[in-house]
Amino acid sequence: MRVRNKRRRVNLLALFSLSLLVSALGAVGVIVAINNHPSPIDADVSNLVEQARLGSYLSDHAAELNQPAGTDPTSVTFTIQPGESSTAIATRLAAAGLVRDSRLLVYYLRYHHLDNQILPGTVLLWQTMTLSQIVEALTQASAREVIVRFSPGERLEQIAETLSANPQLAVSQAEFLSLAGPSTYSFLEVIPAGASLEGFLLPVPYRFSRGATALEVLTQMVTNFKTQLPKDYGAAVARRGLTVYQAITLASLLERETAASEERPLIASVVLNRLAAGKLLEIDATVQYVLGTPENWWPGVSGVDLRAIDNPYNTYVIPGLPPGPIANPSLDSILAVAEAADTPYLYYRARCDGSGHHNFYATFEAHLAAAC
């Protein structure tokens, strides 16, 4: 009995060992099969491992994420080529001194799944930008735009000052004024040869590309004017005896004379009535345009001998409309010319309540009687 039991234990041990061997070989086969044919689960595990590795690296370098590469506030033009890899872009950014660590940028992009979201094109960057700001500029179209706002009634010089003062644009004041100034050609067919773009730059918010040049800015602004001006505008103002250029000139006077949109058709009627009657327009804003300087583009004219100023824009001396617009009017003022009211008014005067609104009169006597 003892011998038989011993043999039975040996047989069982052999059988157990064989079972282990078969199981091991099976496991090896499964592993080989998995390696040759990875499943979605394995891919997910691999991605999770990669995310964990990237997250750990970013966590270890968290302080660096908010540290700009330098202190130089000068803008740098950086161009991204179509199809350029995130690694190549990061390497060039580091070489340009715009990021501290190219690897940190690459890992940041990969961790946030932005490495394939980089947009080709030219952007303006600064050493003072943090890594997340750099990434935003690289991946978001909105981050590549510059919103610039102008006030209605500004003259070309004021617009040039605003644009040249914006560090995100590549616009010099001199170049802008040269392109927008008198020339033998025009961006718009309605502008006479030799005239400037004064009056034809609508004062609305613009979205310019970062690094836009003076020519690019002007082209966009003039294109906007063409788009916004009603197609029948020329015919509408022609019925009032005006060319489009003359209508924009009149609109610039309205813009400088009142901030109340409801008054503009009334003031337009006064100007048209005075033109028809052969009367001088006698509008202060035209003299302000003549006297304006960089220190004060729209100086007051109180106490100034208005008729002593010899200039074709002085409507106290020269009959008719001034030679061209004196400012850049809003679309509201432009439309007010075509929609001028039908009135007998030849005069208007600011009210004495300080509201900035005006009263209107058909006779000079009524106009004088309303003096404050």
pLDDT of 44 reads 58
Length of the chain: 372
Residue with tokens 């044919």: 37
Per-residue pLDDT of the chain (372 residues; tens, 9 = 90+): 444 444 444 343 443 443 433 344 344 343 333 344 445 555 556 778 888 888 888 888 888 888 899 988 888 888 899 999 999 999 999 999 999 999 999 999 999 999 899 989 888 888 999 999 999 989 987 777 889 999 999 999 999 999 999 988 999 999 999 999 987 666 788 899 889 999 999 999 999 988 889 999 999 999 999 999 999 999 999 999 999 999 999 999 999 999 999 999 999 999 999 999 999 999 999 999 999 999 999 999 988 999 999 999 999 999 999 999 999 999 999 999 999 999 999 999 989 888 889 989 899 888 888 888
Report the topology of domain 63-139.
Answer: Dna Ligase; domain 1 (3.30.1490)
Enumerate the H helices of the chain as residue ranges.
2-36, 40-60, 62-65, 86-95, 102-111, 131-139, 156-164, 173-180, 214-228, 233-238, 244-257, 264-277, 284-291, 331-338, 364-369
How high is the pLDDT of residue 41? 52
Give residue limits of the domains in the chain: 63-139, 146-228, 239-369
pLDDT computed for residue 268 by the predictor: 97
pTM for this prediction: 0.72
Rounded to 5°, the CA angle 237-243-248 comes to 80
